[in-house]
């Protein structure tokens, strides 16, 4: 059982390529180094300005955080709400509001709040965020808190 030189070269080529890659990384093969762009200059540590001298517009200053969701009070009836009322909900924009109304017309309304999961775009996590604001009976009383 002898292997020809060309067969041996084909089998060893991938191993040689990996070995060259490891050697080229120079022993710094970590997850952060793999994700960082290659540059000719070594990476300098990022330093933040001290709390005593914050400068607005400074590129090292982290951006101001936006509110993760709207402050709401009340309930929204999925069976009677308009698209505008549906858009008061966090993560619900015009497209999702339209899908809710279309699903409601096609299926004769929501029998329970959990039926919202049947609408495209409303998975488990999104549904759990909205569940406290939703109802299928009664009046829509959802308003944004000031």
Structural domain span for residue 82: 72-144
- Strand 72-73 and strand 134-135: pairing? unpaired
- Length in residues, the chain: 146
Do the bridges between strand 143-144 and strand 72-73 make them parallel or antiparallel, or are there none, so unpaired? antiparallel
Give a yes or no: residue 128 inside a domain: yes
Domain contains 32:
no
Give me the number of domains the chain comprises.
1
pLDDT tens for residues 63-112?
544 444 568 889 999 999 999 999 999 999 999 999 999 999 999 999 99
Task: Let me know if residue 41 belongs to a domain.
Answer: no
Question: 135 — phi, psi (to 5°)?
Answer: -155, 165
- CATH number, residue 84: 1.10.150.320
Q: Are 112 and 46 in contact (CB under 8 A)?
A: no
Residue 44 maps to a domain: no
Three-state secondary structure along 37-67?
Answer: CCCCCCCCCCCCCCCCCCCCCCCCCCCCCCC
pLDDT at 97: 95
Q: What is the pLDDT of residues 19-51, one digit of tens each?
A: 887 777 776 656 655 455 555 555 666 655 555
Phi, psi (5° rounding) for residue 68? -70, -30
Contact, 99 vs 126, CB < 8 A?
no
| CB-side neighbour CA atoms (13 Å) of 114 | 0
Asked, for residue 105, whether it belongs to a domain, the answer is: yes
Q: What is the pLDDT of residue 35?
A: 55
pLDDT at 49: 54
Q: What is the pLDDT of residue 23?
A: 79
| Residue 96 falls inside a structural domain | yes
Residue 139, pLDDT > 80, answer: yes
Residue 67 is predicted with a pLDDT of 45
Q: How far apart are CA 144 and CA 88, in angstroms?
A: 8
pLDDT of residue 65: 42
Q: What is the pLDDT of residue 64?
A: 46
User: Rounded to whole angstroms, how far apart are CA atoms 37 and 30?
Assistant: 13
On whether residue 18 sits in a domain, the answer given is: no
């Amino acid at each position: 059982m002898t292997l020809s030189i060309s067969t041996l070269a084909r089998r060893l080529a991938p191993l040689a390529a990996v070995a060259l890659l490891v050697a080229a990384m120079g022993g710094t093969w970590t997850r952060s180094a793999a994700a960082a762009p290659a540059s000719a200059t070594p990476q300098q540590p990022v330093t933040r300005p001290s709390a005593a001298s914050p400068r607005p517009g400074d590129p090292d200053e982290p951006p101001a955080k936006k509110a993760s969701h709207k402050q709401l009070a009340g309930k929204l009836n999925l069976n009677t709400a308009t698209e505008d009322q549906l858009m008061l909900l966090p993560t619900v924009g015009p497209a999702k509001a339209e899908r809710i109304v279309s699903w409601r017309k096609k299926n004769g309304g929501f029998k329970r709040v959990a039926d919202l999961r049947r609408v495209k775009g409303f998975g488990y996590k999104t549904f759990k965020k909205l569940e406290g604001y939703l109802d299928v009976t009664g009046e829509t009383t959802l308003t944004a808190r000031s």
